Amino acid sequence: ARGLQTLEPDGSIHADFYEEWAVPPAQGVEDGLRRWLADSGLFAAVIAPGSQLSSDLVLEGELTAFWADLRVRTARASLSIVLLDQRPNPVRVLLQRTFTGMVPLPSTEPSAIAAALKTALADVLRQVEAAIARSAQIA
């Protein structure tokens, strides 16, 4: 869903019909993570799924949370990843973990929620980069 999601005080999830992301959040996070890792300088190349190039390491992930929790006034982004080393046979798991970023909501206005979610996501991407850097050195 593209709608800005909030966890309401009664525990229900509300997707705002009028306040939407330009792309679905999972797609945006995937693209953002790819750019973030490419810009990090950790790797010679960061390629998109479906590329004809072969790679030593493969990163798989799932956006598991991307919403504002109005009960505790925080924005939350969570990303579960698996980093695989494809060089040995069999493939070896280097890292499997969920990363979470949480930041306070300054208000419940849609623009404030969107900004807080972006900040929470940036925190997650920093955590992922650091963990991958450590795991890739071990490989």
Share of the chain above pLDDT 90, in %: 81
Starting at the edge strand found earlier in the chain, the sheet holding 13-20 runs: 13-20, 3-7, 57-69, 74-85, 92-104
Is residue 9 predicted with pLDDT exceeding 60?
Answer: yes
Is residue 78 predicted with pLDDT exceeding 90?
Answer: yes
Residues linked to residue 83 through DSSP beta bridges, in sequence order: 59, 95
The model carries a pTM of: 0.90
Residues linked to residue 107 through DSSP beta bridges, in sequence order: none
| The pairing of beta strand 74-85 with beta strand 57-69 | antiparallel
Ordered structural domains, the chain, with CATH: 25-138 (3.40.50.10610)
pLDDT at 1: 77
16-63 pLDDT per residue, tens: 989 999 999 999 999 999 999 999 998 888 998 888 888 889 999 999
Confidence class of residue 139 from pLDDT cuts 50, 70 and 90?
low
As given in the structure block, the two tokens for residue 91 are 């493939």
Output b/e per residue, 15-48; b: 16+ Cβ within 10 A: eeeebebeeebeebbbebbeebbeebeeeeebee
